Amino acid sequence: MNESGNKTAWNIGGAVVGVILALLAIFGLVQSQSSIKQPQNYSEVISYDG
């Protein structure tokens, strides 16, 4: 009973770690895309002022 419980705990732990890594990867992609868009917005503001 304990061995099967241990395997289940490891499986759940692995799933949790996988989900966290996936969320970090998605967050990283969103951050990189937003940082790419910001200079474009600034350049639009500068060209509008000019």
Task: Give this prediction's pTM.
Answer: 0.54
Say if residue 14 is exposed, middle or buried (CB neighbours under 10 Å; 0-12, 13-18, 19+): exposed
Q: Is residue 17 over pLDDT 90?
A: yes
Q: Is residue 29 over pLDDT 70?
A: yes
- Give the whole-angstrom CA distance, residue 27 versus residue 33: 10
Q: Is residue 22 over pLDDT 90?
A: yes
- Give the whole-angstrom CA distance, residue 44 versus residue 21: 35
∠ CA 32-38-41 to the nearest 5 degrees? 150
Q: Is residue 25 over pLDDT 60?
A: yes
Residue type, 50: G
Instruction: Provide mean pLDDT across the span 3-32.
Output: 90
